[in-house]
C-alpha cells in the first residue's frame, strides 16, 4: 500500500533552518523530483535487475520502423494511453527517443528535410518553452530557422509550429495559432491527469510525450513520439540513428516496468500514481495561491475548471510551472535571485521580464523555502530598485 500521506522529512531541523536562511533554491529547471516520495513508498515494486549478458545488441526489433524500440515498451505506452484516454495510438508509429528533447530535434529534421522549400520557419506562440529556441537555432541548420512568436508570424512559405498543451511555461490549454497549411508538432509533455483535466483523446499527426514529466523519472531520458506518416517516422529514426544509434535498452526496460505499474494501479484510489500526483500538485498550487493572494505584489494565471474524463469529475489545472508575474514593472527574475530563488525569466520565453517561470516540481523542502521567501518579498511590497 503506497498511501497518499506526506512522509516525514529526512532533514533535521538544524539543517533545515540553515537552509532556510542560506540556500539558493533552483526553480529554474523543471527537475521533477517532487514525486520521489511516492516512488520511495513503492519500495521494490519497480526494481529492475539486468544480468550482465543481457541487452548487448544495438537492435530491438528489426521489423519495426523504429528498430531500436523495445517491443515491451511499445506495448506499455499503448496500454498507458489507453487507460488514461489522453491520446490515440492506433495506426501510428511509435518512435522512442533519449527524452522528448531528442525527438523534438528529430521531428524538426524529419519535417523540414521532407519540405521542398528550405529553410522551414519554426514558430511557437509566446510565452513558449525556451528550449525550443535553442533546439531550433543551436546547429544553425540550413533546413530550418527559428522565427519566434507564432502569433505575429506572417512569412510566406513552409513552417512548423511548436504547440505545447498544457503550455510550458504558463499552463494554459492551447491550440495551434498560425492555422495555414504548415506542420504542427504537438508537445503533450504535461497532458496527464495530475496536471490537467483530460478532456479529449488527442489525435494529431505528430505528438510528443515524455516519461520525465509523467512519473518524474527524468534521469531515464525516455520520450516517445506518436507519428501518423511513415515517411516522417522513418526520417525521425534516421536522425536518431545518426545522433545516438538508438536509445538505451536499460532505460527502456526501466520505463516499461514503471509505466506498466502505473497503468495497472491507475484506478486504485489509494495506490494510483495519478491520484497521488493530482493531490500533490493541487495542494502545492493552493499553497502558492494563498501566498500570492494574501498580498498585492504578484500575479498568477487563473485556470477554468473542466471535466476530466479520467477522474470523472470537474477539476482545474495544476501546471508543472507557475507563471508568476509582478504587478509593478520590474525584473522579477532579478528580484527573486536577490532572495536566492532562481527562476527562468519571462524574456527567455519571448515575454516580459516582469514574469518568471517557477518550477512546481521541486522537492518539498525547496518548495517550502520558496513559499517562505515569496511571502517575505510580498511583505516588503516589492521595493522599488
Ligand atoms: N517538452 C516540454 C514542453 C518540456 O517541458 C520538456 C521538459 N522540460 C521537454 C519537452 C523535454 O523533456 P525530456 O527531454 O526530459 O523528455
Domain ranges of the chain: 22-40+271-376, 56-265
Any atom of ligand 1 within 6 Å of the Cβ of 99: yes
Q: Ligand 1 centroid vs 247 CA: distance in angstroms?
A: 16
pLDDT at 310: 98
- Candidates 3.40.50.1010, 2.60.40.10, 3.40.50.300, 3.40.640.10; CATH matching 56-265: 3.40.640.10
Any atom of ligand 1 within 6 Å of the Cβ of 252: no
pLDDT at 303: 97
pLDDT at 326: 95
Q: Ligand 1 centroid vs 382 CA: distance in angstroms?
A: 32
Any atom of ligand 1 within 6 Å of the Cβ of 187: yes
pLDDT at 22: 83
Residue 171 Ramachandran class (φ > 0 left, ψ -120 to 50 alpha, else beta): left
Helix H or strand E encompassing 36: helix 36-41
Domain 22-40+271-376 has CATH 3.90.1150.10: yes
pLDDT at 225: 99
pLDDT tens digits for 138-165?
A: 999 999 999 999 999 999 999 999 999 9
Q: Ligand 1 centroid vs 237 CA: distance in angstroms?
A: 19
Contact 61, 247 (CB under 8 A): no
Q: What CA–CA distance (Å, rounded) separates 137 from 351?
A: 18
Ligand 1 atom with least separation from CA of 190: 3
Site to substitute for ligand 1 among 186, 196, 212, 359, most atoms within 8 A of C-beta: 212
pLDDT at 124: 98
Q: Ligand 1 centroid vs 210 CA: distance in angstroms?
A: 7
Nearest to 263 by CA among 199, 310, 299, 227: 310
Any atom of ligand 1 within 6 Å of the Cβ of 189: yes
pLDDT at 378: 72
Nearest-CA residue for atom 2 of ligand 1 = 189
Q: Which residues of the chain have pLDDT under 50?
A: 1-11, 385
Nearest-CA residue for atom 8 of ligand 1 = 30
Torsion sign over Cα 64, 66, 69, 74 = negative
Q: Tell me the three cell numbers of residue 280.
A: 500533490
Helix H or strand E encompassing 83: helix 71-84
Any atom of ligand 1 within 6 Å of the Cβ of 218: yes
Site to substitute for ligand 1 among 133, 189, 218, most atoms within 8 A of C-beta: 189
Ligand 1 atom with least separation from CA of 104: 10
Nearest to 207 by CA among 232, 188, 194: 188
Helix H or strand E encompassing 243: helix 230-244
Burial of residue 53 (CB within 10 Å: 0-12, 13-18, 19+) is exposed
Q: What CA–CA distance (Å, rounded) separates 17 from 7?
A: 19
Q: Ligand 1 centroid vs 82 CA: distance in angstroms?
A: 22
CA angle 243, 246, 252 (to 5 degrees): 135
pLDDT tens digits for 250-280?
A: 999 999 999 999 999 999 999 999 999 999 9
Q: Ligand 1 centroid vs 238 CA: distance in angstroms?
A: 21
pLDDT at 55: 97
Amino acid at each position: 500500500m503506497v498511501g497518499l500521506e506526506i512522509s516525514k522529512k529526512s532533514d533535521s531541523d538544524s539543517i533545515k533552518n540553515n537552509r532556510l536562511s542560506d540556500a539558493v533554491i533552483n526553480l529554474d529547471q523543471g527537475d521533477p523530483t517532487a514525486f520521489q516520495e511516492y516512488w520511495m513508498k513503492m519500495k521494490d515494486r519497480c526494481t529492475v535487475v539486468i544480468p550482465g549478458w543481457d541487452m548487448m545488441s544495438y537492435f530491438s526489433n528489426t521489423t519495426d520502423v523504429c528498430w531500436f524500440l523495445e517491443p515491451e515498451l511499445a506495448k506499455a505506452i499503448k496500454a498507458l494511453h489507453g487507460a488514461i484516454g489522453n491520446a490515440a495510438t492506433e495506426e501510428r508509429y511509435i518512435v522512442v527517443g533519449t527524452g522528448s528533447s531528442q525527438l523534438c530535434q528529430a521531428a524538426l529534421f524529419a519535417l523540414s528535410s521532407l519540405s521542398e522549400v528550405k529553410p522551414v520557419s519554426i514558430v511557437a506562440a509566446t510565452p513558449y518553452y525556451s528550449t525550443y529556441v535553442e533546439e531550433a537555432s543551436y546547429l544553425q541548420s540550413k533546413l530550418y530557422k527559428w522565427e519566434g512568436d507564432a502569433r505575429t508570424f506572417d512569412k510566406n512559405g513552409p513552417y512548423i509550429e511548436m504547440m505545447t498543451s498544457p503550455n510550458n511555461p504558463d499552463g494554459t490549454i492551447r491550440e495551434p495559432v498560425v492555422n495555414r497549411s504548415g506542420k504542427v508538432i504537438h508537445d503533450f509533455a504535461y497532458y496527464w491527469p495530475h496536471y490537467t483535466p483530460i478532456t479529449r483523446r488527442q489525435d494529431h499527426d505528430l505528438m510528443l510525450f515524455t516519461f520525465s514529466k509523467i512519473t518524474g523519472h527524468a534521469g531515464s531520458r525516455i520520450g516517445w513520439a506518436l507519428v501518423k506518416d511513415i515517411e516522417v517516422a522513418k526520417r525521425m529514426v534516421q536522425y536518431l540513428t545518426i545522433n545516438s544509434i538508438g536509445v538505451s535498452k536499460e532505460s527502456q526496460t526501466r520505463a516499461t516496468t514503471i509505466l506498466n505499474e502505473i497503468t495497472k494501479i491507475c484506478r486504485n484510489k489509494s495506490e494510483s500514481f495519478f491520484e497521488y500526483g493530482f493531490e500533490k500538485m493541487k495542494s502545492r498550487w493552493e499553497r502558492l495561491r494563498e501566498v500570492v493572494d494574501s498580498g498585492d505584489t504578484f500575479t498568477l494565471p487563473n485556470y477554468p475548471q473542466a471535466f476530466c474524463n479520467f477522474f470523472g469529475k470537474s477539476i482545474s489545472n495544476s501546471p508543472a510551472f507557475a507563471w508568476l508575474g509582478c504587478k509593478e514593472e520590474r525584473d522579477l527574475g532579478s528580484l527573486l535571485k536577490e532572495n536566492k530563488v532562481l527562476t527562468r525569466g519571462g524574456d527567455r520565453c519571448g515575454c516580459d521580464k516582469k514574469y518568471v517561470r517557477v518550477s512546481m516540481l521541486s522537492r518539498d523542502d525547496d518548495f517550502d523555502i520558496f513559499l517562505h521567501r515569496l511571502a517575505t518579498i510580498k511583505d516588503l511590497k516589492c521595493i522599488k530598485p
